[in-house]
Amino acid sequence: MQKRLLGNSRLEVSAIGLGCMGMSFSYGPPKDRQEMTALLRAAVEQGITFFDTAEVYGPFTNEELVGEALAPFRQHLVIATKFGFDLNPNFDPRGMKGAPGLNSRPEHIKEAVEGSLRRLKIQTIDLLYQHRVDSNVPIEDVAGTVKELIAQGKVKHFGLSEAGVKTIHRAHAVQPLTALQSEYSLWTRTPENDVIPTLEELGIGFVPYSPLGKGFLTGKMDEHTTFDSSDFRSTLPRFTPEALRANQALVELLGKIGQRKHATPAQIALAWLLAQKPWIVPIPGTTKLHRLEENNAAVAVELTAADLSEIDSAAAQITVLGARYPEKLEQMTGR
């Protein structure tokens, strides 16, 4: 597995990380703990050193899974987690019913970090993200609190998730950011407008989540695909039958390039991301060993300048149908 550095921080991670959310949360019922433990350890064996979780995944159970499974390998890994939600008793992860409110008050951040350290069975959080920007708390207070936690040795690196450019600048001025995590793929390209140039200017790494479009870019879905009510994709505008049908053009493009490169659509989608900037590290999630192997093999797929130009030209002719999230969740992004 190749390695990459996240921006000027010099934090070295595997070129592809592993998003762990779906093992416990959002994509249907939680998966078997023993099977997921085996998968996490297989990822380590395949050279993955970068693992992504959050307290809200479960809630809490994903951090516990990751902490227990990766404990024997801890010194060789980078584990990222996130704070920023009030996990109220009515929160139901099946379809995000009773979705938790945002909470990035300094005292809450400190409580969240203590809980994450305990569940992850670690002394220090390698990379701590604010999960979503809380408009009720000045970002300077958030960054200042994380700066204190870094001084105390409880956190090594600071990151934001789905933050806008102004927020990135303000946070970075208080405590330098190591990474921004936001959705980015061939069917979600909004970060290209101003976020990616800002990250390049400031020397901040970029960690795209849902780099395979929540599974869509694998080519395994069509308009007849249905989702269980416990799968949050059942609530997303981009996963209606109409949208799934209209957006197949992107999958067909990936498949066309893949045939020429002897690669799958998923591998082309990941290779395209890796080719955008040397400080971009996608974190595809999976619960299946063969998908893990498929995703990791994307680092060996070489896309030439001509390939990239062809993909960009063709993708520019495709209009993606459907919003990423329902309106309430969409409002939490880009702040």
Count of C-beta atoms within a 10 Å radius of residue 255: 15
Cα 135 to chain centroid, rounded: 22
Pick the catalytic residue: 57, 129, 184, 325? 57
Long-range contact set of residues 307-314: C-beta below 8 Å, sequence gap at least 24: 307/257, 307/261, 308/272, 308/275, 310/257, 311/186, 311/253, 311/257, 311/268, 311/272, 314/253
Which residue is it, tokens 């970090």? 113
User: How far apart are the C-alpha atoms of 55 and 14, rounded to whole Å?
Assistant: 23
User: How far apart are the C-alpha atoms of 212 and 298, rounded to whole Å?
Assistant: 12
Query: For this structure, is 57 an active site residue?
Result: yes
List the beta strands (DSSP E) in 15-70. Answer: 18-19, 50-52
Report the run of H or E that residue 168 belongs to, with start and end: helix 165-174
Length of the chain, in residues: 335
Give catalytic residue positions. Answer: 57
